[in-house]
């Protein structure tokens, strides 16, 4: 039973290093509703300033392997690392294979690393709400680096990427139209660009091209930070240190320029918005079930009822305090 | 804000989450991949941890992912040893409420031993996929209702 005491107990245990408790807490955050919204608030108020890193790029670019390599370097520097890896749901069955963790399994038994897989299933920004809530949990529990890995194409994934502190875009050589992919959505606003699989012969061409567009200012979020382009090979373990250096440099820049506060603020705003939407829709759905048969297709009556509920829900929302 | 009103009860219950594991030196993963895909097609969330995992790695993954079931796919002869180690580790980490099932080339004579160790279900070679799916759904459901009490 998910009571307040049960959850507070989980959080306390998780804080002491109980990984089972953290796993169970994350499950609760996978499906936040009006009854568990307070958990997100509670965790958000205990933020410890984690560095949230979004890693995106086309399938096959080697994101998971790159992350796994980076984790080794980050651990060497004493950081505790959490990874949220997002895999697509099958449109046919709504089941999913969560295979990203496969490439990170060497870190499974490291107590300073926690890896959780999530699927894109769910309506109404469900993914974004779970992912953002989980970020709050890892932040509150003292993980220094929270890495979120996604393909970065769906609307929910874009939402999550947009509010990361550092966006890393991973490409690979010879993907043909990868150049075009750079022009679309999340790919345009990277803080760090990585050309993975650089052991391949075509790598130099891709790398040169990306340096060129970065120089011209065609990619990147603007501002004083010019996105670096880094060549890596996760199979050969090449360029990993440079990649981690870039992550550290960007964090320094964010703190120095005050941008980190801004990004935290947009993350919080997004969280409140998604929570509010979820609460409203949950309330409406509960009413819909109960009232629909009574209203017998009376659409006007339904809308009136819906407004009534929305007003009452609005009161609940006023009490949501996430700064 | 744009929302779609779904005029049906949103499911609060998450899907059944299964970890498909290959423990030890066995280098064959075709069977495990077939099972993983079949489970996905049946609506499960499948965490596939790959080849050559140790018991510790599998338990760690199962705990972090908070799975309902660990499905071990074994082709070599150490299934009894692995089952014992696995259940021991799960108990040690307070995670022995996670169900363990086993499939692969398991001799019928070892069924009882495995059940006594705590393996919930053993699927002998040739068990039809839909039978496996049904069984897993059923035991996951039982486990969920037990926990809600």
Residue pLDDT, tens place only, A278-294: 888 787 777 767 766 66
**Which residues does chain A have within 8 Å of residue B91's beta carbon, measured at their own beta carbons?**
none
C-alpha distances (whole Å) from B148 to each of A9, A136, A250, B63 are 17, 26, 46, 19
Reply yes or no on whether the pLDDT at A122 is more than 70: no
**Which residues does chain A have within 8 Å of residue B95's beta carbon, measured at their own beta carbons?**
20
Place B51 in a pLDDT band, splitting at 50, 70 and 90: confident
Reply yes or no on whether the pLDDT at B2 is more than 80: no
Measured between CB atoms, does A102 come within 8 Å of chain B?
Answer: yes
Tell me the average pLDDT across B40-69: 93
Task: Note the pLDDT of residue A210.
Answer: 86
Reply yes or no on whether the pLDDT at A198 is more than 90: yes
Indicate whether B9 belongs to any domain. no
Name the minimum distance, in Å, from the CA of A208 to any CA of chain B: 36
Place A214 in a pLDDT band, splitting at 50, 70 and 90: confident
The residues near A264 (Cβ < 8 Å, ≥ 6 apart) are: A47, A49, A165
The predicted model scores a pTM of 0.89
Please give the backbone phi and psi of residue B17, each rounded to the nearest 5 degrees, phi first: -110, 125
- Contact at CB, B93 and A285, closer than 8 angstroms: no
C-alpha distances (whole Å) from A262 to each of A163, A267, A269 are 10, 9, 10
Q: Return d(Cα B130, Cα A87) in angstroms, integer.
A: 24
Judge whether B69 and B19 are in contact, CB under 8 Å. yes
Number of domains in chain B: 1
Containing structural domain, residue B95: 17-147
- Contact at CB, A97 and B40, closer than 8 angstroms: yes
Q: Which tokens sit at A112?
A: 């300073």
State whether ipTM is beyond 0.85: yes
Task: Note the pLDDT of residue A320.
Answer: 60
Name the minimum distance, in Å, from the CA of A278 to any CA of chain B: 10
Who has greater pLDDT, A18 or B30? A18
Task: Note the pLDDT of residue A264.
Answer: 93
Question: Which of A96, A123, A273 comes nearest B40 by C-beta?
Answer: A96
Radius of gyration of chain B (CA): 16
Radius of gyration of chain A (CA): 21
**Which residues does chain A have within 8 Å of residue B7's beta carbon, measured at their own beta carbons?**
285, 288-289, 292
Tell me the average pLDDT across B73-85: 87
Measured between CB atoms, does A242 come within 8 Å of chain B?
Answer: no
Indicate whether B97 belongs to any domain. yes
Write down all domains in chain A, each with its CATH number in brackets. Answer: 48-259 (3.40.50.300), 269-318 (no CATH)
- Contact at CB, A119 and B45, closer than 8 angstroms: yes
Residue B28: which CATH number? Answer: 3.40.50.280
Indicate whether B12 belongs to any domain. no
A101 → chain B, closest CA residue: B49
Task: Note the pLDDT of residue A232.
Answer: 97
**Which residues does chain A have within 8 Å of residue B94's beta carbon, measured at their own beta carbons?**
18, 20
């Amino acid at each position: 039973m998910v009571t307040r005491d049960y959850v507070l107990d989980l959080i306390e245990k998780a804080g002491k290093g109980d990984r089972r408790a953290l796993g169970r807490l994350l499950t609760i955050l996978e499906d936040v509703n009006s009854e568990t919204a307070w958990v997100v608030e509670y965790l958000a108020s205990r933020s410890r300033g984690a560095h949230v890193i979004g890693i995106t790029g086309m399938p096959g670019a080697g994101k998971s392997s790159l992350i796994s390599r980076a984790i080794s370097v980050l651990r060497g520097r004493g950081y505790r690392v959490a990874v949220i890896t997002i895999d697509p749901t099958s449109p046919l069955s709504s089941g999913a294979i969560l295979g990203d963790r496969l490439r990170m399994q060497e870190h499974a038994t490291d107590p300073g690393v926690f890896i959780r897989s999530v699927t894109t299933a769910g309506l109404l920004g469900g993914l974004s709400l779970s992912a953002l809530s989980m970020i709050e949990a890892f932040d509150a529990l003292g993980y220094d680096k929270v890495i979120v890995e996604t393909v970065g194409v769906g609307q929910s994934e874009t939402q999550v990427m947009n509010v990361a502190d550092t966006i890393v875009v991973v490409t690979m050589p010879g993907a043909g139209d990868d150049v075009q992919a750079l022009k679309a959505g999340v790919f345009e606003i990277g803080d760090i660009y990585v050309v993975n699989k650089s052991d391949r012969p075509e790598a130099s061409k891709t790398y040169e091209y990306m340096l060129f567009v970065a120089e011209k200012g065609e990619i990147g979020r603007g501002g004083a930070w010019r996105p670096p382009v880094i060549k890596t090979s996760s199979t050969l373990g090449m360029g990993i240190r440079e990649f981690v250096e870039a992550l550290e440099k960007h964090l320094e820049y964010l703190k120095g320029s005050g941008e980190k506060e801004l990004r935290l603020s947009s993350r919080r705003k997004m969280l409140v918005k998604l929570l509010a939407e979820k609460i409203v829709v949950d309330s409406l759905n509960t009413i819909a079930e109960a009232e629909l048969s009574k209203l017998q297709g009376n659409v006007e009556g339904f809308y009136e009822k819906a407004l009534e509920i929305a007003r009452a829900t609005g009161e609940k929302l006023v009490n949501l305090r996430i700064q | 804000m744009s929302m779609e009103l779904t005029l049906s009860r949103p499911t609060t219950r998450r899907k059944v989450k299964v970890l498909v594991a290959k423990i030890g030196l066995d280098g064959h993963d075709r069977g495990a991949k077939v099972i993983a895909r079949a489970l996905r097609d049946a609506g499960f969330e499948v965490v596939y941890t790959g080849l050559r995992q140790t018991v510790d790695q599998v338990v760690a993954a199962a705990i972090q992912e908070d799975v309902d079931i660990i499905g071990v796919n074994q082709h070599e002869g150490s299934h009894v040893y692995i089952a014992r180690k696995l259940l021991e580790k799960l108990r040690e980490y307070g995670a022995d409420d996670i169900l363990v099932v086993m499939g692969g080339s398991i001799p019928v004579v070892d069924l009882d031993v495995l059940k006594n160790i705590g393996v919930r279900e053993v699927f002998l070679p040739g068990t039809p996929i839909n039978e496996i799916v049904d069984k897993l759904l059923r035991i996951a459901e039982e486990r969920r209702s037990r926990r809600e009490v």
